Amino acid sequence: MTLHDTLDQDRRELVELTDDLLGRHCDLDFLRARIDDGTAHTPGLWSRLAETGLVSALVAEEQGGAGLSPAHLSGVLHSLGRHAVPEPYLETAVLAATVLGALPGPVADTWLPRIAAGDAIVVVRLGELTPLVPYAADADLLLDLADDGAVRAFTADELEVTPVAALDPLRPLARVVLAGAGTEVGDDSAVVARTRTLALAGAACLLAGASQRLLDLTVEYVAVREQFGRPVGSFQAVKHKAADLAVMVDMATAAALSAFDAVDEPDGPRRAAAAKAYAGDAAARANVDALQLHGGIGFTWEYHLHIWLKRAMGLAASYGTTTALRRDLARELLARVAGERRG
Amino acid sequence: MNHPVTEADVEEFRAEVRAWLAENVPAEPLPPWTEREGFDLHRAWEGRLFEGGYAAVDWPAEYGGRDAGLRRSMAFAEEYYRAGAPERINMGGLYLLGPVLMQYGTPEQCARWIPDLLACRTIWCQGFSEPGSGSDLASLRTRAERDGDHFVVNGQKIWTSMGGFADWIFALVRTDPEAGRKRKHDGITFLCIDLRSPGVEVRPLAMVDGTRGFAEVFFTDVRVPVENVVGEIDRGWAVAMSTLGFERGAVFGDHAKFSNDVADLAALVDARDLGEDTHALDELGRVLVQTEVYRANVYRLAARAEAGGELDSTASINKVFWTQMQHDIFDTGIRLLAEDGAAVGDPGSLPDADPATLRAWSQWHHRYWYARAAMIFGGTNEIQRNIISERVLGLPMEPRR
């Protein structure tokens, strides 16, 4: 099943719009130039995303946005993953926009219109989920979400940001120390919990998209690479690896998109955690098999497989690892079942 | 259906089903259907479901179903498994032959076979595989020669699920060997055969776990009326492929069964005091994640089916995933039982075991072996990988004839 078959009409149109934009402005040459000059985020690409309305999609109309619900953006995130977009879209346009949208006040009034206009990068720190904060060095504002529900905003001059050498050069990471007092945005544990769910499901969508690209690149390659006088993709040993990967990528996509749609359902947190855990598994499989089936060419800097190999590895390790999420889910189920057995 | 099914319709139906199941589901689990006593009890249960109007809620009303549509059918399945109701034994009839008859059968055939099938008065089995024809199904050699208004059938079928308990078999037979020599998919006919006919011999096969759920069926000069052909004579391959589509595709709602199994697994982890064991948590978490992913996929496929989309291309992906997941669940369970699970051949050898262990042992060993079989039946998972790589990914065909 293709992504196209999984989405309804509205979301399909948003995906087509995104694919078209990224095909023109975020191609391989663009990504290579970003790696070469060591700058992932650029105001140029960000403003193009903003001009098409993608950055302001979740911001309320009165603050300059389109007032859509997050569910509209699941396919967009998948597309951003397929294109390895080096921008803090999940962080700013999804997470920060929904946090500020849910906590009205002076901070939201100041920053939401700036987000909507594409004039501000706002990132989020989510406790244990973000020991390293993506795109913190590019941020104009950081929202710190504590587990107890306290949300505070810190401007760039109130932060000590130490960039680390990220495995994926197109997704920069930094250690952040809160140096200033910050400003209170609100205190609402439901908002924090919902943001965690959105982060997990959103990362799962990005990751499923990156894995899809690894699969697509691999299928294209084995269909044209010939050995023994036939395409290597005609050998069963190769075909079955590709098929197993296709199963995992398709299932990861189904789980990720549906979890992103379901953030407000009662079982939303569980579905998001499961989707991220499985997307991490699928990405690990995609990483291993894509490189194996490409053979030597996949190791070279000249060929572009490494862009998605590293995107898959980096995202799988961000916003909760598969191992940690699985253990949490298992503990939660055990608590429920043990309660029923003793109850 | 005249009006779209609303969430309220689904919930109303769910409540009705839940109440009926609470009244009717046997308090104690039935003995396994692989022995005669258990089989008869399962059959009686199917009769009760039929009386209640729940034998096939998704079927059209004209064939005795409830026209429930996908979402209400899924709600039925979710409630069915949640209530711990018995395993269905007439799946071959309800999910394979029934839909085939509705699509290819004559009105006379539908009237003759569907009501008894629905009420479980007749049990049907599938006669496709032969000793020499497994993955290469179209190489099948069971012959049916025309003699007036009858076919005379000679040959052998194998791996027929529930063959030892079935009354009828729907079989693929070769009616035109000449056409088959040019193209092996031609000259095959889909034929329904009464297993009580003279010349039929059914030999139950003792399986690896000691059960007798499968059988071999031998045909020696068995006379079958021509009117028992479903679809066109010599064009049975297309009919057979549509049943395989049903067999591989989603049984909408079965995600609830697997979620229950994972909850049982959690109960076992708890009973054996492994709640702080990271290995046990990792294993439990892994299969829990798989069942959540599978549920998402079932709902995706249902939405697609409701929108009128085709599901053929998804059937192979779905089959590889659910059979692997099912295997992983029971494999995990047996490994968590450690020596009690894999080294002991009978729960009677565990006099001191806790109830969760005994329950797990008695329920899971059978289902573990069934899970292994599921990776083979309905087209092996290797055949599914060929289909996925060629029809979904567009990779070149293997040379084959």
Which is the catalytic residue, given B78, B79, B130, B247?
B247
Which residues in B lie closer than 8 A to residue A278 (C-beta atoms)?
Answer: 289-290, 292-293
Query: How confident is the model over B213-225, as a mean pLDDT?
Result: 94
Three state DSSP letters for chain B: CCCCCCHHHHHHHHHHHHHHHHHHCCCCCCCCCCCHHHHHHHHHHHHHHHHHCCCCCCCCHHHCCCCCHHHHHHHHHHHHHHCCCCCCCCHHHHHHHHHHHHHHCCHHHHHHHHHHHHCCCCCEEEECCECCECCCHHHCCCEEEEECCEEEEEEEEEEEECHHHCCEEEEEEECCHHHHHHCCCCCEEEEEEECCCCCEEEEEECCCCCCCCEEEEEEEEEEEEHHHEECCCCEHHHHHHHHHHHHHCCCCCCHHHHHHHHHHHHHHHHHCCCCCCHHHHHHHHHHHHHHHHHHHHHHHHHHHHHCCCCCHHHHHHHHHHHHHHHHHHHHHHHHHCCHHHHHCCCHHHCCCCCHHHHHHHHHHHHHHHHHHHHCCCCCCHHHHHHHHHHHHCCCCCCCCC
What are B74-110's pLDDT values in tens digits?
899 999 998 989 988 887 888 889 999 999 999 999 9
What are B257-286's pLDDT values in tens digits?
999 999 989 998 998 899 999 999 999 999
What are A36-64's pLDDT values in tens digits?
999 999 999 999 999 999 999 999 999 99
Q: What is the pLDDT of residue B3?
A: 63
Domains in chain A with CATH codes: 192-336 (1.20.140.10)
Here the ipTM equals 0.95
Which residues in B lie closer than 8 A to residue A334 (C-beta atoms)?
Answer: 266, 269-270, 275, 281, 284
B124-235 and B249-392 share one CATH topology? no
Superfamily of domain B124-235: Butyryl-CoA Dehydrogenase, subunit A, domain 2 (2.40.110.10)
Q: Is the pLDDT higher at B60 or at B288? A: B288
Q: Answer yes or no: is pLDDT of B37 > 70.
A: yes
Distance of residue B26 Cα from the nearest chain A Cα, in angstroms: 20
What are B152-206's pLDDT values in tens digits?
999 999 988 888 889 999 999 999 999 989 999 999 999 999 999 999 999 988 8
Query: How confident is the model over A268-279, as a mean pLDDT?
Result: 98
Query: How confident is the model over B219-245, as a mean pLDDT?
Result: 91
Q: pTM for the full model?
A: 0.92
Least trusted range by pLDDT, from A82-96, B265-279, B352-366? B352-366
> How much of chain B, in percent, has pLDDT values that exceed 70?
94
How far apart CA A112 and CA A122 sit, in angstroms, is 10
Q: What is the pLDDT of residue A268?
A: 97
Contact B296 A271 (CB under 8 A): yes
Superfamily of domain B249-392: Butyryl-CoA Dehydrogenase, subunit A, domain 3 (1.20.140.10)
Q: Where are the domains of chain B?
A: 7-89, 124-235, 249-392
Which residues in B lie closer than 8 A to residue A270 (C-beta atoms)?
Answer: 292
- Is residue B283 annotated as part of the catalytic site, yes or no? no
Minimal Cβ distance to A233: which of B292, B384, B396: B396
Q: Is the pLDDT higher at B296 or at B206? A: B296
